[in-house]
Amino acid sequence: MAPSSVWIYGAAALAMLCGYGALQVTCYGIWICGLLVTPFLLILARRIARPWEIHAKDKSFAETAERLKADLACDPFAFPTGWYSVLRAGEIQRLEVREVVFCGQKVAVFRGQDSTLRAVDAFCAHLGANLAQGNVIGNSLRCPFHHWMYNGEGKVTGVPWASKNTIPDSACVPAFTVLEQDDQVYLWHSADKQKPTWTPPVCNPSGLPFQCSCSIDIRAKARSIAENLADTAHFTYIHQNTWQPPVSHFLRNEWDLQDGYKTDGITATAEVINTYIVLGKFRLPHVLKIRQLGPAMAHISSELPMGLGRFEMIQSCVPFATSKQTTLTQRFYCNSPLIRLSLPLSLIEVCSDRKIWNEQRTLERPVLIERRADGAETVDASIAKFRRWFRQFEPKREIIADQVDKLADDGCNSCSEKSPLNDW
């Protein structure tokens, strides 16, 4: 064999050996990296598979909570009458108590031994301790300060140093009507203390499992947020920019209101076609069925195209300490992993609206153009219908005026400066 051939074969063998070694090193590297990364991927997958909740809080709300009593003294009747979804039923277990703030009131919601939910004012009639810091004993709530016992009607049923026949009738706190339905915990609010006159319709008839919820604090009235669903024109101008480059180069949305905005009793309905346009050619439409339930609730459902699944979304607007500070919560129920992965987009959409709401001024007499030149209704007609429909939930002006007079008689010095009438 010629010497040159030996060198050639030797070089080829060495190259093969080096290639094999490099392959081995690469394989071992991938294997070691896999061992290091896999636990984190498993944790992430497990986290994604579980229901999750996000609450984007507004720091100013903490300051508002400190001024809660002052707000209550001067703005107690500026909240719409109706049901408010303050919790998800799965958030409060048996023998647990949770504090919620809605319509300017702190409320202790607790689930007794019998699994029934009850709700009472959060401040003890004795020395004003927060009952939500207490314990549930049987079907009663025990104050953490001096162990006074309260039943679901707000009455004191036990005091450590007193017998039942010595407890005065004044030993009580206000109680709230509670409704548990569709995995929601509803509380009823009425400015004139009237009993519930209606019940929310069923929102999740197919029993889809809970997947996630997104909550965000907004400086706006509940009415302004609810009005957003009637204002379908804003979908085009606000939400068409959901997709940012480079995604927007091949995916965009179109919105179209079908059959107008309709009202019927305590419900209002609309159907909006949301069309995904892929590569500027392929159109994938799906219908969003919107049903508003009273002043603070909405149910949105849709069957996605190409059999990708179905979702039900329950939206709740809960006024916080004042009528112009609201927590918007969207709870999603679906049966599709693909839908689940896309649900965070909803928070992006709400944040787009939040920029408008936080700086928006409430106009009671807005300028609306309800007809086109050919006589057809515009989107402004839907807003006008919504405003007329919503009036049934607003406290009557004379009720608010009477309450202001009463507060003035009781010595509320700031009523003349900050009257609830200023909100109307």
CB-CB contact of 101 with 65 (8 Å): yes
Structure confidence by residue, pLDDT tens digits, 291-338: 999 999 999 888 877 777 788 889 999 998 778 888 899 888 888 777
Structure confidence by residue, pLDDT tens digits, 369-412: 888 888 888 888 989 999 999 999 988 755 555 554 444 444 43
Total structural domains within the chain: 2
* CATH number (domain holding residue 148): 2.102.10.10
How confident is the model at residue 234, as a pLDDT?
A: 84
> Same structural domain for residues 136 and 281?
no
Q: d(Cα 403, Cα 77) in Å, to the nearest integer?
A: 8
> Same structural domain for residues 170 and 205?
no
Question: Is residue 423 a part of any domain in this protein?
Answer: no
Question: Is residue 354 a part of any domain in this protein?
Answer: yes
Q: What is the mean pLDDT of residues 165-169?
A: 92
User: The pTM is what?
Assistant: 0.77
Question: Is residue 10 a part of any domain in this protein?
Answer: no
Q: Which residue has the higher pLDDT, 61 or 282?
A: 282
Give the residue numbers spanning the domain of 331: 52-57+200-363+389-393
* CATH number (domain holding residue 213): 3.90.380.10
How confident is the model at residue 58, as a pLDDT?
A: 57
CA distances from 101 to 58, 84, 211 (A): 15, 11, 24
Q: What is the mean pLDDT of residues 58-67?
A: 50
How confident is the model at residue 17, as a pLDDT?
A: 61
Question: Is residue 317 a part of any domain in this protein?
Answer: yes
> Same structural domain for residues 149 and 232?
no
Question: Is residue 24 a part of any domain in this protein?
Answer: no
How confident is the model at residue 239, as a pLDDT?
A: 74
> Same structural domain for residues 284 and 156?
no
Q: d(Cα 104, Cα 102) in Å, to the nearest integer?
A: 5
Q: d(Cα 398, Cα 371) in Å, to the nearest integer?
A: 34
How confident is the model at residue 336, as a pLDDT?
A: 76
> Same structural domain for residues 342 and 212?
yes
> Same structural domain for residues 126 and 252?
no
Picking from 177, 78, 105, the residue whose alpha carbon sits closest to that of residue 396 is: 78
- Would you say residue 70 has pLDDT above 50? no
How confident is the model at residue 193, as a pLDDT?
A: 84
Question: Is residue 23 a part of any domain in this protein?
Answer: no
Question: Is residue 31 a part of any domain in this protein?
Answer: no
Structure confidence by residue, pLDDT tens digits, 333-357: 888 777 777 666 777 778 888 888 8
Looking at residue 98, its amino acid is R
CB-CB contact of 210 with 116 (8 Å): no
> Same structural domain for residues 153 and 237?
no
Question: Is residue 47 a part of any domain in this protein?
Answer: no
